[in-house]
Amino acid sequence: MHNNEQKSEEGLTIKEISETLNVAEITVYKYIEKELLEEIEQPNLKYAINGQRLFTTQSVLNLKKRMTDTKNHISLNAYAKEKKVSPELLKRIIANNGIVIPKGSHGLRQTYLISPEIRETLDRLILENSFAHFRTKKNYYNSHHNIALLQSFLIEDGRTYRVMTEGQRWGFYTETGFTDFESFINAKPLYDIHKPTVKSSSYVNFSIPKSEKNAYSYVDGIYNIFGIENAQLILTEEHINVRLKMNKWKVTNDSEHIQRLLELNSYSINGEIRLFNQDLHVICYDKRVAVVLGQENHEQLSEIAKKQNITESKLAQKIIEEFLNKHQ
């Protein structure tokens, strides 16, 4: 590798241009074909041992100025692929929430680029979209077998398995593959998944990475303390998404489960779990505000919501947030 002074005098090789522009070498050849780089004439190049084509440093730097720094950016399609959502769903989420994605140059190709700031917002919105699956109870609870997703069972040979789903089937993944629940006649649950239902319309959401070493310990703690009536779990490719009803629970000296639940705060989306004396509190940061609108204003709100393809509640929330941000 040459130093900067030598590069200015001798030019840059294909590999060095690739590193400078942060593009693949095949892309550099495309730039050469388009005459975007100025080659240094070397009359004896074809006779030289290990000879390499060289291009002026200035032409490389001029080209770099035309390119957007994409080091911390990602294209829409690449982001959709990373999050395992369809580009159509991603575009719908962006449009419904009024997010503006600026265009930039990925190499010399104009495309929509997601900045780290926009990415943070989209990460949250995509996560919220995945929580919509909780509206269908059969996604996390099988009433026929009275079993819940990721519930732990003891098999008669002493091994434990967790309830999983494969399509419409419920069962366990064993050493021989997926086996339906009905095949395990003597399977015994390690705990009861049912607790008294509490009244609450607010939920605290958590997203636990599957790579977290205590992920399944959190699941056991959730079922033991809250039960399926007050806590639900959904699996995605990379996370265990959980929602808990906002309320307080009397707890015993079950210190292991309580400690695990308090650790869940590291993966909270919109609230936290606190322990006060013998009461475990699930606290939601989101607050509901009742707004009464006159008929004319409500009709206006409804019409705009339809045009933007979002709910009236989502539009009202958006309007209030924009108003408050302007008056900070």
* C-alpha to C-alpha distance for 216 and 193, rounded to whole angstroms: 15
Distance CA 192, CA 152 (A): 10
Q: Exposure of 273 by Cβ count < 10 A (0-12 exposed, 13-18 middle, 19+ buried)?
A: buried
CB neighbourhood size of 141 (10 A):
20
Could you tell me which residue, 174 or 157, shows the higher pLDDT?
Answer: 174
Place of tokens 């990415």: 119
- Read off the pLDDT of residues 19-74 as tens digits, 9 standing for 90 and up: 888 788 888 998 898 888 998 888 777 655 566 888 999 999 888 877 755 667 78
Helical spans, DSSP H, in 138-269: 215-225, 255-263
Q: State the pLDDT at residue 4.
A: 43
Question: C-alpha 137: how far from its chain's center?
Answer: 22
* Half-sphere exposure (Cβ direction) of 34: Cα atoms closer than 13 Å: 10
Mean local confidence (pLDDT), 294-316: 84
Residue 215 Cα distances to 45, 166, 178, 218, angstroms: 60, 20, 21, 5
* Cβ atoms of 13 and 32 closer than 8 Å: no
Is 119's pLDDT higher than 60? yes
pLDDT at residue 253 in the model:
66
Is pLDDT of 5 > 70?
A: no
138 Cβ contact list (under 8 Å, min separation 6) = none
Q: How confident is the model at residue 3 (pLDDT cuts 50, 70, 90)?
A: very low
- Percent of the chain whose pLDDT exceeds 90: 32
Q: Both tokens of residue 103?
A: 């265009």
pLDDT, tens digit, 9 for 90 and up, residues 76-101: 888 888 777 778 878 888 887 888 88
User: Which pLDDT does position 109 carry in this prediction?
Assistant: 66
Question: Max Cα separation, the chain?
Answer: 86
pLDDT value, residue 71: 64
Distance (Å, rounded) from C-alpha 268 to C-alpha 256? 19
The token duo for 169 is: 């089937």
Better pLDDT: 66 or 244: 244
CA nearest neighbour of 195 among 244, 267, 144: 244
The two structure tokens encoding residue 237: 């490719």
User: Is there a contact between 285 and 203 (Cβ–Cβ < 8 Å)?
Assistant: no
